[in-house]
Amino acid sequence: MANLLLQDPFSVLKEYPERLTQTLETPLHTCCVQFSQGGDYLALGCSNGAVIIYDMDTAKPISMLGNKGGGHVRSIQSIAWSKDGRYILTSSRDWYVKMWDLKKPGEPARQVKFDSPVWTCQWQSNGTLGCVATVYEENHAFSIDLESDVPTVSQICDIGQNEGQGADGKSVDYGYTLVACMHPKHKDLLLTGTSKGWIKIYRLSQQAKELIHTFRFAYSNAKHMIISQSGDRIAINSADRTIRQYMLTMNDEATEFNFTLEYRYQDVINRLQWNGIFFSSNSAEYLVASTHGSSAHDLYLWETSTGTLVRVLEGTEEELLDIDWDFYNMCIASNGLETGNVYIWSLVIPPKWSALAPDFEEVEENIEYREKEDEFDQVGQLEQQQELDQAEEVKIDLRTRESFDVRGNEISFDRFVIPIDYESILMLKYWDREN
Amino acid sequence: MAQFQFLTTLKKSQGSNWPCTAAKISPDGQNVAFCDGTDIEIHNINSKSTTLIPTLHSQASSDLCWSPDSQCIATASDDFTIIITHIIFGELYRLVGHTAPVTAVKFTSKGNLLCSCSMDESIRIWDTLTGSLLRTLSAHSEPVVSIDIPLFDSSILSSGSYDGLIRIFDTATGHCLKTLTYDKDWQSENGVVPISQVKFSANGKYLLVKSLDGVLKIWDFVRGKVVRTFISGESNSLRYSCGMDFLYSQDEALDPIVVSGTENGNIVCWDSQTKNVVQRIQSKHLDSPVMDISCKGSLMCSLSLNGECNLWIWVNTD
Amino acid sequence: MGALPDWCPTYSSRKRDSSTGEEVFCICKKPDSGELMVGCDGCDDWFHFSCLKIPRKYNKLVFSFYCPYCQAGVTGPGSRDGNLPKTLWRRKCRVQDCFKPVADNSKYCSEEHARGYLQGLADRVEVRGYDAALVLRQMLQNADLDAFKSLGQNGVPKPSDALAPRLFEDDARLCDLESQLRDLRDRDKPQVESQLATLVQYVTWVQAVNELLFDGSNVQAAAALSQSQKRKRNIKPKAMCGYCRDLRIPCSAQDFAPRFDEEQLSIEGVCCKLRCSRHLDWAGIQENGLRFQLETFESSEERLTLLVKIREDQLKMQFYRKMVDHGVDPQPPLLANE
């Protein structure tokens, strides 16, 4: 973080990465990527059920979940890190949602089995360990309480209201719930997207789950739904090849909602589907998306306030699937369809030669040196000393840490460090010695 | 009024066959480790037991560092290599790459990277999980004698060298981010003083630097200005890089104390805010330079060249 | 033609000095002044050691010498038949400073050097507190040459129980590792194996029901227990899904089959949908899961056995080291700060 203070502010404050800097070649076929909070680790979910964690400082794999039993056996559909980075939730096509404690990554700490493949799972940020999962061909999402050893599952369904009844009394089929996300500011609100193009907003509390608003955005599946960190922008990627960007406004008590369509993103030329979408930080100034199709190899970046395309991130030679954006290191990771490699785009800040001495400065062009009137005056030693002494009177604080970095990201939370597995190092040494 | 009180002598001086130059308290505060020639000696503070862990170094080690989980120790030796030893399992890795004696090692706060500097004027960054070299930084034009990494921020690394420069590097790319001093002074003969130790403050915003003229300065490295100067009254040209550290007392209201060792065996403590000398310990380490000082919580451990190692505790004497 | 070394002048066949008429030798073409010379086996000329840059001390080690001209093929056998000869040397005595040639069937020039070398080796063996010669003699006395040769290949020997009572039993970590291994073998593996057996049983029942309901000739059931088979046509045979959450067989296949009704989604907890997409490949997934579990158990077993071995070796080494350092009373190994 402190390195950002010492580098050129124009480079550091760039709002999106520009160049392909790393390619992580994994032997397994990656399906989804997820950075941990803080950008220290990158978790890759693979098509055979393996989840590998890479350390972003060294770009090497450091851990694999499920070494000692209990790993997934079908492709991973989603990965979610907890805020402090200690727990990971994975959901997979093998009908399981598993929660892993990174202190002991060999076995899952909790697991829940459903009756069909699980699409997504997200953490619930209401203090206790809990998550929301969406399942294949289920009308409602599920809420899982992971506090106790045996997790409890409950369906998020408003039993008070008859969900089949629309506002005008006609029966409404909302379809299967496919995607869900929690509202970042109002921790009890859950937004779900369905297969028939509806968004349903629930209020979750200890006693009941209330359906408080429904909104139809399209007539097809919701493939992805993302919400900005500030909670006022939503983007939905649907199966009719459009990404719809809405502004969500609500009143203070969060009882009335309004979705205003801001822009629609479509590939009018090739009419391709969108594979994955992601917002930039805070109030989502930018939206990045990847396209379907063997001829599309890039990530597209739009400015959300104007809806215009500002950047195309290139460098790969294959179709890209899942996207994740690390705001702390300003890098975007995406996995390729054919090879399963993970590509990382980040900022490249060139070295400053002015850093090599205290008073060097970089100038754009030659400056004619003009001697000042007082160039060779003997400055009073006393005055210089007084200046230095004054500087030494200013109070300094050696203890308190910064809470935000230059880019506005929060850095004051304690990040969990995955413990080094010394047993595996030992075993590798022994193995080398024997052979 | 708070002062250091002598607790116990962990090791008596032994007209040494090897000079002792590094003693560190572990991050969990349970043990003190120091290098005894090529071996590592670990003293448990509570149970007072000693364990000797031999290493495969062929020459004496000059510095050691605990890993953040207090399970491994990295030793930097004159045989150009660094060995990472697990205190239970034994030797894990031998890091080979430097072309001159290694002078200092430091783990980052996450424990996955190890930085080392050497008399070959370079700094190297190693991956501790696989024991491989990640990056080499060509840093200075004289032996680099000290490096430090802030506790909660492993993005920067600071180095001090005998060429008088204090430099700050970016650990991810290896670029030099800032230089705080000059290595040539056109105005005076003795303008440039070799740097002997660098240490970051707990919040990583200030850098404490000690040079071979006995002066300690706290720098605000982002602005490049000195904010505190402490003069210990020693001669202008010292031979040894004596130890120094910050002491953060448990009481948050009290300002941190700067503790520094001198060549004649004294330990001087200043209040970092007011610059007053809070205590001058002259009772131990008689006439042997204090080579290393390590603080953790309210404990301080001091080591002198003849091998005497003492443990002190910071107490409120009211 | 070979190349002459840089310091060697070109060949001149002059054998006599033009002015004095004396016989001249070597590459320097000087008469014999009593200096140490060596005769070439190829051209019968004599050469000074110093001119050829050969150290004087090697003079006893020459076996057959060829001068630079013969080695280059300018004179001697090389010039006649083209095979360039090379100077051959005798093997020198193993003692570093001795340049005498070795005696027959020996690595040393003489018996004194042989004894002296081995004595030097024995002196350098650092065994604190023991006389090196005694140790060596002790080792050689109970000499089984093969046992001596294989010393160290079978790992560190375990100290006898008299020397190190309960060395392994008292170690917490070793006991922990061994109990994990036992649990794995006695408890976890059998559990998973029985689950697998239940699954297999249930799937056979579903297969039986499907065979009764639909054509017996169509053996492929949608819930088949096997690896995926490549299908040339996409037409799947008609088959009931058969998924039941707790794998409980409600009744025999014959009793179940008549109750089957295409309209009903599930009978007694068994999913009856045809071409059910929701529970697609449920049996494959479950079977994979259980077999994967068994595989990880196996690798865990290997890993634990290896760790046990490493720990045992470490304990033995620690014991021996303590014994050597302190004499008799070794301290307990450093405990983990867990």
Out of B182-186, B195-199, C34-38, C68-72, pick the least confident: B182-186
Give the pLDDT band (50/70/90) at residue B189: low
A113 phi and psi angles, rounded to 5 deg: -110, 130
State how far residue C287 is from chain A, nearest Cα, in angstroms. 10
pTM of the model: 0.79
Tell me the C-alpha distance between A238 and A222, whole Å. 4
Out of A322-326, A388-392, B93-97, pick the least confident: A388-392
Tell me the C-alpha distance between C234 and A152, whole Å. 40
* pLDDT at site C18: 79
Whether chain A has a CB inside 8 Å of the CB on B175: the answer is yes
User: Percent helix, strand, coil in chain C (nearest 5)?
Assistant: 40, 5, 50
Contact A345, A332 (CB under 8 A): yes
State how far residue A109 is from chain B, nearest Cα, in angstroms. 23
The string of pLDDT tens digits covering residues A177-203 is 899 999 888 888 889 999 988 898 888
Highest mean pLDDT among A13-17, A373-377, A389-393: A13-17
Contacts of C292 in chain A (CB under 8 A): 49, 71, 73
Contact B167, B141 (CB under 8 A): no
Tell me the C-alpha distance between A305 and A284, whole Å. 9
Tell me the C-alpha distance between A74 and A72, whole Å. 6
Whether chain C has a CB inside 8 Å of the CB on B91: the answer is no
Please tell me the total count of domains within chain B: 1
For all residues of chain C together, what is the average pLDDT?
77
Contacts of C325 in chain B (CB under 8 A): 52
Which tokens belong to B144? 């680099």
Contact C35, C52 (CB under 8 A): no
Q: Decide if pLDDT at A160 tops 70.
A: no
SS3 A144: strand
State how far residue B34 is from chain C, nearest Cα, in angstroms. 16
Chains that touch B (3 or more CB pairs under 8 A): A, C
* pLDDT at site C336: 42
Which A positions 321-380 lie with beta carbon below 8 A of chain B? 349, 351-352, 355-358
Tell me the C-alpha distance between B136 and B149, whole Å. 16
Q: By C-alpha distance, which of B21, B235, B30 is closest to B146?
A: B21
The residue ranking higher by pLDDT, C19 or B167, is B167
Contacts of B86 in chain A (CB under 8 A): 422
Residue B201: closest C-alpha in chain A? A398
Which B positions 37-96 lie with beta carbon below 8 A of chain A? 68-69, 71-72, 86, 89, 92-93
Tell me the C-alpha distance between A240 and A262, whole Å. 18
Tell me the C-alpha distance between A34 and A225, whole Å. 16
Assign domain C1-90 to its CATH architecture: 2-Layer Sandwich (3.30)
The string of pLDDT tens digits covering residues A8-49 is 888 888 889 989 999 999 888 899 999 998 888 999 999 988
CATH of the domain at B200: 2.130.10.10
Provide Rg for chain B, Cα atoms: 18
Contact A281, A37 (CB under 8 A): no
Mutation target among C171, C318, C334, C338 for the B interface, most CBs of B within 10 A: C334
Q: Decide if pLDDT at C230 tops 50.
A: no
* pLDDT at site B46: 87
The residue ranking higher by pLDDT, B247 or B83, is B83
Q: Decide if pLDDT at A270 tops 70.
A: yes
Task: Summarize the confidence of residues B214-233 as an average pLDDT.
Answer: 87
Residue A430: closest C-alpha in chain C? C310
- Enumerate the β-bridge partners of residue B170: B156
Tell me the C-alpha distance between A317 and A135, whole Å. 33
C278 closest CB neighbour out of A66, A137, A423: A137
Residue A263 to residues A159, A283, A307, A310: CA-CA distances in angstroms? 35, 16, 6, 15
Residue B43 lies in a domain: yes
Out of B126-130, C95-99, C324-328, pick the least confident: C324-328
The residue ranking higher by pLDDT, C158 or B60, is B60
Maximal CA-CA distance, chain B: 56
* pLDDT at site B81: 93
Task: Summarize the confidence of residues A259-278 as an average pLDDT.
Answer: 88
State how far residue B57 is from chain C, nearest Cα, in angstroms. 17
C336 closest CB neighbour out of B42, B51, B88: B88
Whether chain C has a CB inside 8 Å of the CB on B86: the answer is no
Residue B163 to residues A216, B116, B140, C102, C248: CA-CA distances in angstroms? 70, 17, 7, 57, 79
The string of pLDDT tens digits covering residues B69-78 is 999 999 999 9
Beta-carbon-side half-sphere exposure of residue B266 (alpha carbons within 13 Å): 12
Residue B148 lies in a domain: yes
Helix/strand/coil (H, E, C) string of B30-67? Answer: CEEEEEECCEEEEEECCCCCEEEECCCCCCCEEEEEEC
DSSP-derived letter for residue C336 is P
CA A23-B132-B173 angle, 5° bins: 55
Give the pLDDT band (50/70/90) at residue A343: very high
Contacts of B297 in chain A (CB under 8 A): none
CB within 8 Å: A116 and C307: no
Percent of all residues in chain C with a pLDDT value above 90, rounded to a whole number: 0
The string of pLDDT tens digits covering residues B224-256 is 888 888 887 766 667 777 888 888 887 777 788
The string of pLDDT tens digits covering residues C21-62 is 888 888 888 888 888 888 888 888 888 888 888 888 888 888
* pLDDT at site C329: 42
Q: Decide if pLDDT at B4 tops 60.
A: yes
Residue B215 to residues A228, B160, B208, B241, B270: CA-CA distances in angstroms? 52, 14, 11, 12, 12
CB within 8 Å: C336 and B42: no
SS3 C255: helix
Residue C295: closest C-alpha in chain A? A69
* pLDDT at site C127: 61
Q: Decide if pLDDT at C249 tops 60.
A: yes
Q: Decide if pLDDT at C333 tops 60.
A: no
A399 closest CB neighbour out of B202, B218, B224: B202
* pLDDT at site A12: 85
State how far residue A353 is from chain B, nearest Cα, in angstroms. 8
Out of A89-103, C69-83, C321-335, pick the least confident: C321-335
Tell me the C-alpha distance between A289 and A269, whole Å. 16
Whether chain C has a CB inside 8 Å of the CB on B249: the answer is no
- Enumerate the β-bridge partners of residue A10: none
Q: By C-alpha distance, which of A416, A419, A421, A420 is closest to A81?
A: A416
CA C160-C161-C166 angle, 5° bins: 130
Tokens 């060294």 -> residue: A58
Domain A1-346 top-level CATH class: mainly beta
Give the pLDDT band (50/70/90) at residue C142: low
A390 phi and psi angles, rounded to 5 deg: -60, -40
A73 closest CB neighbour out of C245, C277, C292: C292
Give the pLDDT band (50/70/90) at residue B63: very high
State how far residue A70 is from chain C, nearest Cα, in angstroms. 6
Which tokens belong to C283? 């049996």
Tell me the C-alpha distance between C52 and B189, whole Å. 57
Contacts of C337 in chain B (CB under 8 A): 28, 30, 70-71
* pLDDT at site A100: 93
* pLDDT at site B209: 92
Q: Decide if pLDDT at C229 tops 50.
A: no
SS3 C77: helix
Which segments of A185-274 does DSSP mark as H helices, in order? none
The string of pLDDT tens digits covering residues A275-324 is 999 999 888 889 999 998 878 788 999 999 998 999 999 888 889 999 99
Q: By C-alpha distance, which of B124, B89, B85 is closest to B103?
A: B124
Out of A315-324, B14-23, C12-21, C211-220, pick the least confident: C211-220
B88 closest CB neighbour out of C325, C331, C334: C334
C292 phi and psi angles, rounded to 5 deg: -60, -40
- List, as one string, the DSSP characters of A381-433: HHHHHHHHHHHTTS---SSPPPSB-TTS-B--SPPPPPPP-HHHHHHHHHHHH
* pLDDT at site B12: 77
* pLDDT at site C222: 41
SS3 C302: helix
Q: Decide if pLDDT at B290 tops 80.
A: yes
Chains that touch C (3 or more CB pairs under 8 A): A, B
- What contacts A148, CB < 8 A, 6 or more positions away? none
Percent of all residues in chain C with a pLDDT value above 70, rounded to a whole number: 83
* pLDDT at site B190: 62
Q: By C-alpha distance, which of B36, B45, B34 is closest to B73?
A: B34
Contacts of A426 in chain B (CB under 8 A): 89, 92
CB within 8 Å: A116 and C278: yes
* pLDDT at site C217: 40
Q: Decide if pLDDT at A157 tops 60.
A: yes
Tokens 């506790």 -> residue: B151
Contacts of C334 in chain B (CB under 8 A): 42, 51, 87-88
* pLDDT at site C126: 63
Contact C46, C39 (CB under 8 A): yes
* pLDDT at site C161: 73
Mutation target among A47, A51, A73 for the C interface, most CBs of C within 10 A: A73
Residue B4 lies in a domain: no
Q: Decide if pLDDT at C226 tops 50.
A: no
State how far residue C314 is from chain B, nearest Cα, in angstroms. 8
For all residues of chain A together, what is the average pLDDT?
86
Residue C336: closest C-alpha in chain B? B88
Whether chain B has a CB inside 8 Å of the CB on A405: the answer is no
Domain hosting B142: range is 18-241
Encoded amino acid at A107, one letter: E
B112 closest CB neighbour out of A58, A356, A394: A58
The string of pLDDT tens digits covering residues A48-67 is 889 999 999 899 999 888 88
* pLDDT at site C219: 46
Parse chain A into domains and list their residue ranges: 1-346
The string of pLDDT tens digits covering residues C159-183 is 777 777 777 777 888 888 888 888 8
In this predicted complex, what is the ipTM? 0.86
Give the pLDDT band (50/70/90) at residue C330: very low
Q: Decide if pLDDT at B146 tops 80.
A: yes
Chains that touch A (3 or more CB pairs under 8 A): B, C
Residue B3 lies in a domain: no
Q: By C-alpha distance, which of B92, B110, C315 is closest to A422?
A: B92
Across the A/C interface, how many CB contacts are shorter than 8 Å?
Answer: 46
Tell me the C-alpha distance between B194 and B214, whole Å. 11
For all residues of chain B together, what is the average pLDDT?
87
* pLDDT at site C338: 34
Q: By C-alpha distance, which of A93, A78, A208, A195 is closest to A143?
A: A208
